[in-house]
């Protein structure tokens, strides 16, 4: 049957349309319980701040309890907190209700196994195969129990503090923290304040509808204005579920995931603690690869998606990898992308070295990059269209080995992503626009 509903990061869609309905959520809970619920243990359920999260939380809770699985409810907490606590509390599996950086009209459901790792494609296929079975309701004697963990954030706070060297303090750092009106809105300011940083919060007033709305890692413009405006040392922007982070230096300049990865990798390399290659994706800025090469640090690329980054790191024994979006894996610290862990590592480096974020990131020169999303009638493989391949070949000759071209179909929508990278910003933009026009005209209808 394969994976019909599961995408690259769980199940996601517009609320009220399949699969993001109450009826589907009940079937999903029953199917997941039948595949993952054996052998005792509870399921841990967390969510972000979307209004629809309460509805899906109730539906999943009912489905799991009816199937005989105990349920622990955390309320709003970052996705990586649920991954950590699933393992820490000995839960059978964990569930996060979130559509990450998407607008509030969307929502999603993703799973972690008992070790806080994302499910394998094989397990997801097994759950898919059970979705056609009506939800199970056991007898009263066999029902699960549900309870709320009112102090669940304390577990995660202790974990985050524990990733830093003993006695680390952020005293003297003034930080603007943008939580995207999302899942990190309580826990991130608390953790940073407990480490003695001075905090200026923005995007920390969720109302159920304003998640990712003109704030957060996808919209850091307000953060870029606020940091120099209040004379802060740096700014931090999370996405709606807290697994991504970008930062802003004291001048208001954006420091993206590639640059943060460089800062952490360079520091670990200097300390002799870096293992294996650093892993990025085909979309990672060429500047990171060149900067790491100068340090003698190997770098590898994989297809887009943290699942691919994780798989390669595990395969080669690496500990650091990530994406430009700020979804960074620190496998020597935790099992999944964690925006707060990444930010804390960078802040600790700033504090220990006395360097500003701008100075730490200066070792990596970002090459100009143009990314265009071309809407098409249906998804297709651009590498299979001769007219497109011919233009790619000609443009690569024009870039003369000083740039890259990446064409890929979106995994979730009818969009072809066109990325061109090179030394000259004007040339890069022109090449991207030429290629986008060819993709648009050559796309099947």
Catalytic residues: 100
Rg (CA), the chain: 22
Report yes or no: 75 and 63 within 8 Å, Cβ to Cβ: no
Q: Where are the alpha helices (DSSP H) in 8-106?
A: 22-36, 52-66, 79-88
Is residue 186 a contact partner of residue 221, using CB atoms and an 8 Å limit? no
Two tokens at 272? 């002799």
For residue 229, the surrounding DSSP H or E stretch is helix 221-229
Q: How far, in Å, CA of 381 to CA of 262, rounded?
A: 32
Q: Are the beta carbons of 403 and 420 closer than 8 angstroms?
A: yes
- Beta-strand runs (E) in 323-409: 328-330, 369-375, 404-409
Rounded Cα distance between 21 and 14, Å, is 9
CB-count burial class (<10 Å; 0-12, 13-18, 19+) for 429: middle
Measured distance CA(324)–CA(246) in Å, rounded: 9
134: which DSSP letter? Answer: P
Most distant CA pair in the chain, distance? 72
CB within 8 A of 185, min separation 6: which ones? Answer: 49, 76, 179, 203, 204, 205, 206
Q: 192 near 233, Cβ under 8 Å?
A: no
DSSP letter for 393, please.
H
Task: Please name every residue paired with 245 in a beta bridge, in sequence order, or none if there are none.
Answer: 238
Q: What angle do CA 226, 230, 236 make, to 5 degrees?
A: 50
- Tracing tokens 């497109």 back to the chain, one arrives at 388
Residues in CB range of 303: below 8 A, 6 or more apart: 281, 282, 408
Distance CA 388, CA 263 (A): 37
């Amino acid at each position: 049957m394969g994976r019909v509903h599961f995408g690259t990061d769980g199940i996601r869609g517009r609320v009220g349309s399949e699969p993001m309905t109450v009826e589907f959520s009940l079937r999903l809970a029953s199917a997941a319980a039948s595949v993952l619920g054996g052998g005792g243990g509870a399921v841990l359920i967390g969510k972000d701040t979307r209004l629809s999260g309460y509805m899906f939380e109730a539906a999943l809770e009912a489905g799991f309890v009816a199937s005989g699985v105990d349920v622990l409810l955390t309320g709003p907490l970052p996705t990586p907190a649920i991954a950590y606590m699933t393992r820490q509390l000995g839960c059978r599996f964990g569930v996060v209700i979130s559509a990450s950086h998407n607008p509030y009209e969307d929502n999603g459901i993703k799973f972690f196994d008992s070790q806080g790792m994302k499910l394998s494609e094989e397990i997801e296929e097994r759950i898919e195969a059970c979705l056609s079975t009506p939800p199970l309701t056991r007898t009263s004697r066999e029902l699960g129990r549900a309870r709320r963990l009112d102090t669940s954030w304390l577990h995660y706070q202790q974990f985050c503090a524990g990733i830093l060297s003993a006695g680390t303090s952020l005293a003297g750092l003034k930080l603007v923290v943008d939580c995207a009106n999302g899942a990190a809105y309580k826990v991130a300011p608390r953790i940073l304040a407990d480490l003695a940083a001075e905090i200026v919060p923005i995007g920390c007033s969720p109302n159920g509808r304003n998640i990712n709305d003109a704030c957060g890692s996808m919209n850091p413009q307000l953060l870029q204005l606020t940091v120099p405006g209040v004379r802060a040392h740096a700014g931090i922007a999370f996405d709606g579920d807290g697994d991504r982070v970008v930062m802003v230096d004291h001048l208001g300049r954006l420091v993206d995931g590639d640059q943060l990865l460089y800062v952490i990798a360079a520091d670990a390399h200097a300390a002799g603690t870096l293992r294996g290659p650093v892993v990025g994706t085909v979309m990672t800025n060429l500047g990171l690869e060149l900067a790491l090469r100068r340090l003698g640090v190997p770098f590898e690329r994989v297809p887009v998606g943290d699942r691919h980054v994780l798989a390669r790191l595990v395969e080669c024994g690496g500990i650091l990898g990530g994406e430009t979006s700020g979804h960074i894996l620190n496998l020597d610290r935790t099992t999944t992308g964690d925006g707060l862990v990444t930010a804390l590592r960078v802040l600790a480096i700033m504090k220990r070295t006395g360097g500003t974020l701008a100075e730490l990131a200066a070792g990596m020169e970002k090459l100009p990059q143009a990314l265009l999303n071309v809407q098409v009638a249906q998804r297709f493989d651009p590498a299979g269209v001769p007219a497109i391949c011919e233009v790619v070949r000609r443009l690569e000759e024009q870039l003369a080995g000083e740039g890259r071209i990446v064409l890929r179909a979106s995994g979730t929508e009818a969009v072809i992503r066109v990325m061109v990278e090179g030394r000259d910003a004007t040339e890069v933009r022109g090449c991207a626009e030429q290629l986008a026009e060819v993709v648009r005209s050559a796309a099947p209808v």
